[in-house]
A = this chain, B = another copy of it.
């Protein structure tokens, strides 16, 4: 499959060349307008990896996303294979089937050009921006809990035929370089003096403390082994608040180019981490409504996790068609399988809270920080809020096995939110 996209015809699009190059493609033109000379093109890629264009015409608007052969954030010195667009395309089709309506509709895909044309979401904006400016999104918890539960369950052998799933594991195992980014930046770099690391002034003492915690590092490496050697389900792989677009009442998940097979608790754990970072950063972004808005964020976490459990149990009882925990062993012998479902969920949450803590660490210690903290200009304020985040994360990693439920985890956040670590 790699060979397929290793052609020599690849050329990065520009604002000027885009109408000429894509104007003749009917699957695209039908959604924008037949006359490309009427198209307007805006480059809006603000992410780390890709070109993103908004293309509008007489009929409507599409997003055109094209992979670049290197990491945009770093430059041509860090090459990155174009075939990631191929995996993103396959991830989007699977997510659309498993969680209908949750991702942008695909209009056109060109593997050689590493190019996907897809539905333009409007007036959606990146959820992380909403969380920074203090906006609420109705139905967010239900949408996210169900998205995570549906993709986790329906991508696993609780649901899929084993032959189908194994063929898919083989397909996605070709995506090597992208998981390698996660493996290094998320799981390893934060815990030693890696070249591309950076952290806020004032945190060096805490960072040294974390790096001297051998048990912590062992736990993180256990989770790396689980992340890299586990094919329970097809993950989004990068489900943070920058991969979610929302209006006041509607949300979608975007950008699954970090797709890979992995543990069912990974996406929901990473997602919760990004809510906790939003939570801890709020004192720098809010004034009067601080307590209210922080409380809303924790409610979203609690309810997302509740919706996850509810939806997972519903699917367990109605769609358990795979080889795992078959009815032949339970219902057909008049044995309730509820205990089995509880055990599966318990293991998902153990993983999730550990992944959650690791994501909270790496976003303050490794290469790719997030705007929740980065937008805080006052360094001392930023350091003190990041410190709360780092300390709670360490506790999550150490005690992931013992946490009762999302409410206990949110209680932990409340405790750390009142601490002064610097």
Contact = CB atoms under 8 A, between A and B. Distances in A.
A222 B324 CA distance: 8
Contacts of A167: 173-174, 176
A192 interface: yes
Contacts of A230: 229-231
Contacts of A288: none
Given A166-B176, A218-B343, A333 B229 contact: no
A224 B333 contact: no
Interface string A159-188: 000110011011101101101100110001
Given A169-B170, A183-B323, 15 more contacts: A156-B229, A157-B225, A157-B229, A163-B180, A166-B179, A167-B173, A170-B171, A170-B173, A188-B326, A192-B333, A214-B336, A217-B330, A225-B324, A228-B324, A229-B231
Given A225-B157, A323-B188, A325-B221, A173 B166 contact: yes
A177 B177 CA distance: 29
A180 B165 CA distance: 12
A341 to B, nearest CB: 9
Interface centre among A212, A228, A261 (most CB of B within 10 A): A228
A329 interface: yes
B191 A228 contact: no
A162 B156 CA distance: 23
Interface residues of A, number: 53
A211 to B, nearest CB: 6
Interface in A325-346: 325-326, 328-330, 332-333, 335-336, 339-340, 343-344
Contacts of A224: 323-324
Nearest to A325: B221
B340 A218 contact: yes
A333 to B, nearest CB: 6
A232 interface: yes
Interface string A245-281: 0000000000000000100000000000000000000
A138 interface: no
A35 interface: no
Interface string A283-323: 00000000000000000000000000000000000000001
A229 B217 CA distance: 24
A215 interface: yes
With a 10 A CB-CB cut-off, give which of A231, A328, A329, A332 has the most chain B CB atoms: A329
Contacts of A232: 225, 229
